[in-house]
Structure 1
Amino acid sequence: MIRIRKRARRLLTAIAGLTLLAAMTAGCRGDDGRTERPGADGLGESLLGRSITVYMGNSPAAEAIRTLLPEFEAKTGLKVDLTSFTNEQLSQKLSVQFAAGSANPDVFMLRPLEELRSFGVGGSLEPLNRFVSGDAEYDFADFSQAAVESVTLDGTIAAMPLSTEQQILFYRKDLLEEAGLPVPRTLDELEAAAGRLHDPAGGGVYGFVARGQRNALVTQLSSFLYSEGGDFQQGGKATINTPEALEGINRYVTLLRRYGPPGVFNMGWQQAAGLFSQGKAAFYTDASAIYAIAIGSEQSSIKDKVGFALFPAGRAGAKPYSITAWGLAMNAASDRKEAAWQFIRWATGKDIVMKSQQMGNPGARRSVWSDPRGVAGFPESYIAVVTESMRIGVGHDRPQVVNVGAARDLIGDIVVQGLLEEDIRAAADKANRDFQALIDKERSP
């Protein structure tokens, strides 16, 4: 559970069930003790002359915020010192800052399903419940439930959703039409259709492609598990060798081994998307956010031949992941929390999410997805698939542990063994024991 400093814990207890510090209706005290009166848009008027530090990863979400930042600074008087890093550089920089107990950055981007738990256990995340409570204009309930699940740690809101992605099915409309096949709605239908369209020797087309790299494939494997009724774990118990999980794993292995391309062991999303965009696969499943790459450039031979479909249903129904890919969090050690919150509130508010999504960054607010302005530029069939996936999706796409990388390696190895035609059940049993040991180690005092 997130470790909250004593002062913050007392504050949270005091305001439980109340409105946001009474700030949104009756004024509040600024970081320096001055009284500030929020304007009609909820932004405080006493931020003039103050500053915060923000760290961001390189992503469309960060670029949208950087582009729109001048209007926030002009409106509030708050100076934002924003620095961008590559994903790995950002994670390393944050780890160093938090280990030193630094008050900087005040606000930072993070990949919730990769880093939320590790940063939370370290006590570096400021709980945001008190900021969103009672703020009708911010409308926290507008965020998709699955996106909120991704940024919630042990019942505490640890970050705000910034961008989302869902697992969807990409397919070749022309190939299905020529073969007289419907769009697969179940995993059984997907497997059958992939078999019918698999023709690498004659037509140069594989039936199916997806990630095959041991670590990278785990996120895409997740929807297969969920749709068969399985998951990586249930609370503190590893469940990767349950009958339901094995059904999902076997399905993924079968599709890749029988109908996938050679060299699939070396395929991350870039390689798999590249092969599909070259017209060399009938079906491809991965994150919705990479749709523009999957359909290829304007010169691509399949540009107008790609369809989008909901992830096919298994025995438990259609259960694709629907996650927060990037979130905005607050440093628990920051001494400028009110100013930091105003930035987060602005960056994840309806107006900026609308503008950001119009720039190509898929947001987490349902109102924006249901507004014609928010979906302009996206293919119509894609919009329907994403919005439905947001409604029914599962809010995680990987094991929920601190050492996510190690867990992904353990689980991904089951698929690798299956592709090598080794015993999947034996591999799953071994992975489950090792995964349980990892869970137990992290849970021990």
Structure 2
Amino acid sequence: MLSKRKTLTAFATWCAALSLPAFAVTELTIATVNNGHMIEMQKLSEEFEKQNPDIKLNWVTLEEGVLRQRVTTDIATKGGQFDVMTIGMYETPIWGEKGWLKEVETDEAYDVDDLLPAMRAGLSYDGKLYAVPFYGESSMVMYRKDLVDKAGMTVPDRATWGHIRDVAAAIHDPDNGVYGICLRGKPGWGDNAAYITTMANSFGARWFDEDWKPQLTSPEWQHAVNFYVDLLKNYGPPGSSSNSFNEILALFNEGKCGMWIDATIAASFISDPNQSKVHDKVAFAQAPVAVTDRGANWLWAWALAVPAATQNAEEAQKFITWATSKDYINLVAKENGWANVPTGTRQSTYDNPNFQEAAVFAEAELAAINSADPSNSTLKPTPYVGVQFAAIPEFQAIGIAAGQQFTSALAGKVSVEDALKNANKSADREMRKSGYYK
């Protein structure tokens, strides 16, 4: 009697002789964002295909704003264009509630309890996990310690925004190609609006009052956005209104940014000697504050989810659990070193001595993630959950419109006052249309 291995070999030989495939291949189409960790996942996914020869991966890699539009349209219309989607903490609970996502199925080896509580909670609805975190992040100050020391200044944890402005002024040296501070200016609810919201939170602002009325014309918003615009106009690089994460990362790695307040995930890139000219000159601090530390730093995860409309749910689940597993993190460490693994997802990563030794940013990153509280992110009470966004379906349109106004104000096309009036009017229209109030 033939062994099972010999039987399968004979079957494959017979299929080849008849020009027939030995087994059907399932093609998974994966929508993802064009950042460093995701690009690396595409390279390393050859290992997944080797382990699963019956699955072929087809990648659709998009800029952040385009990705959000494409996956939102596809899932809302049940288009079925994608088998795996890269989404975040904003979309996951909303889409999970609507039944647009498959619940994530994990086994004991995946160790779901190892996921950081903030990440697991933010990617769940009604206690069920609907996406798994590929990497997680908060936001913090990343700065050139050599420049700050030379100026006789310091950047403490939770510095005041006034102090950050003074440091930016002290290290601003445009004649030598160094700008005091770099901040996001490109419009988008997950782009400039996300960053500005954390600043506004610290000034005591909120998106909506307890009756869901937009509050963008409040003194707190006025103060925060005026401060943001003045800060970049005086100490930021030219063209700041076009800068998002990748643009600023390139500037920082070239040594052109004295300070950068953005996603903690950037720390692994700017401290990498293979990417950054100033890798040995960077330091980190917790996000600045004005009148409160509530909501001063965001909470986010880029996560992988399986849309309900896919015809390849089993294979898609297999891929997303592989790409967010301990084994994948170990694979990245083996190929690229522990300083370059995707972070912000698993406690075991931060407990690993190899990671602790390699990642100079580890302690600051974890502290920032653990300090972010989506249920208590504003000084005044609100009816919504979320730090840099309000977790309601309408926020995407509201945030996009507001982001466009913030960019216009930064570019000098409208005053801050008019930008906030326009954003508030747009938000009011969306909330009335959705029946939050008459």
Instruction: Name the structure 2 match of 1:253.
Output: 229
1:419-438 alignment to 2 at 5 Å?
420=412, 423-438=415-430
Equivalent residues of 1:206, 1:260 under 8 A apart: yes
- For structure 2, which runs of at least 5 residues remain unmatched after alignment? 1-22, 375-386
- For structure 1, which runs of at least 5 residues remain unmatched after alignment? 1-47
For residues 87 and 343 of structure 1, what CA distance do their matches in structure 2 show?
Answer: 19
For residues 223 and 397 of structure 1, what CA distance do their matches in structure 2 show?
Answer: 6
Provide, for residues 393-415 of structure 1, a one-character-per-residue CA deviation record: whole Å limited to 9, x for no partner. Answer: 25654454357266323244135
The counterpart of 1:312, out of the listed 284, 288, 311, is 288
* 1:212 and 2:189 are equivalent in the alignment: no
Structure-2-length-normalised TM-score = 0.72
The counterpart of 1:323, out of the listed 300, 305, 323, is 300
Provide, for residues 68-107 of structure 1, a one-character-per-residue CA deviation record: whole Å limited to 9, x for no partner. Answer: 4157538xxxx333221112686677567657757775x5
Deviation at 1:263, TM superposition (A): 2.9
Provide, for residues 9-34 of structure 1, a one-character-per-residue CA deviation record: whole Å limited to 9, x for no partner. Answer: xxxxxxxxxxxxxxxxxxxxxxxxxx
The counterpart of 2:62, out of the listed 84, 87, 93, is 87
Provide, for residues 303-346 of structure 1, a one-character-per-residue CA deviation record: whole Å limited to 9, x for no partner. Answer: 32222222223322173112112x12223245665665454444
* 1:223 and 2:198 are equivalent in the alignment: yes
Deviation at 1:121, TM superposition (A): 7.6
Q: 1:138 to 1:176 in 2, by over 3 A?
A: same
1:296-307 alignment to 2 at 5 Å?
302-307=278-283
Instruction: Name the structure 2 match of 1:162.
Output: 134
* 1:414 and 2:406 are equivalent in the alignment: yes
Deviation at 1:165, TM superposition (A): 2.8
SS at match of 2:138: strand
Instruction: Name the structure 1 match of 2:353.
Output: 372
Instruction: Name the structure 2 match of 1:271.
Output: 247
- Counterpart amino acid of residue 139 in structure 2: Q
For residues 42 and 231 of structure 2, what CA distance do their matches in structure 1 show?
Answer: 37
- Counterpart amino acid of residue 100 in structure 2: S
Equivalent residues of 2:71, 2:85 under 8 A apart: no
Q: 1:116 to 1:240 in 2, by over 3 A?
A: farther
Q: 1:437 to 1:375 in 2, by over 3 A?
A: farther
Q: 1:64 to 1:324 in 2, by over 3 A?
A: farther
Deviation at 1:386, TM superposition (A): 0.9
Q: 1:301 to 1:100 in 2, by over 3 A?
A: closer
SS at match of 1:238: coil
- Counterpart amino acid of residue 393 in structure 1: A
For residues 178 and 79 of structure 2, what CA distance do their matches in structure 1 show?
Answer: 54
- Counterpart amino acid of residue 168 in structure 1: M
Instruction: Name the structure 2 match of 1:183.
Output: 155
Instruction: Return 115-124 or 189-198, whichever deviates more.
Output: 115-124
Q: 1:100 to 1:255 in 2, by over 3 A?
A: closer
Deviation at 1:387, TM superposition (A): 0.9
SS at match of 2:292: coil
Deviation at 1:390, TM superposition (A): 1.3
Equivalent residues of 1:227, 1:317 under 8 A apart: yes
The counterpart of 1:147, out of the listed 119, 136, 140, is 119
SS at match of 1:281: coil
* 1:193 and 2:196 are equivalent in the alignment: no
Query: CA RMSD for the aligned pairs?
Result: 3.9
Deviation at 1:183, TM superposition (A): 1.5
For residues 240 and 314 of structure 2, what CA distance do their matches in structure 1 show?
Answer: 49
For residues 96 and 263 of structure 1, what CA distance do their matches in structure 2 show?
Answer: 31
Q: 1:384 to 1:363 in 2, by over 3 A?
A: closer
Equivalent residues of 1:212, 1:416 under 8 A apart: no
1:102-121 alignment to 2 at 5 Å?
107-112=83-88, 116=92
For residues 165 and 120 of structure 1, what CA distance do their matches in structure 2 show?
Answer: 21
Provide, for residues 347-375 of structure 1, a one-character-per-residue CA deviation record: whole Å limited to 9, x for no partner. Answer: 43333344446453225112212222345
Q: How many residues get paired? A: 385
For residues 67 and 234 of structure 1, what CA distance do their matches in structure 2 show?
Answer: 49
* 1:360 and 2:341 are equivalent in the alignment: yes
Instruction: Return 188-197 or 232-241, whichever deviates more.
Output: 232-241
Equivalent residues of 1:238, 1:432 under 8 A apart: yes
Equivalent residues of 1:144, 1:390 under 8 A apart: no
- Counterpart amino acid of residue 197 in structure 2: S
Instruction: Name the structure 2 match of 1:20.
Output: none
Instruction: Name the structure 2 match of 1:4.
Output: none
For residues 68 and 229 of structure 1, what CA distance do their matches in structure 2 show?
Answer: 48
For residues 242 and 68 of structure 2, what CA distance do their matches in structure 1 show?
Answer: 25
For residues 411 and 80 of structure 2, what CA distance do their matches in structure 1 show?
Answer: 48
Q: 1:233 to 1:408 in 2, by over 3 A?
A: farther
Equivalent residues of 2:270, 2:276 under 8 A apart: no
For residues 238 and 119 of structure 1, what CA distance do their matches in structure 2 show?
Answer: 24
SS at match of 1:321: coil
For residues 156 and 52 of structure 2, what CA distance do their matches in structure 1 show?
Answer: 49
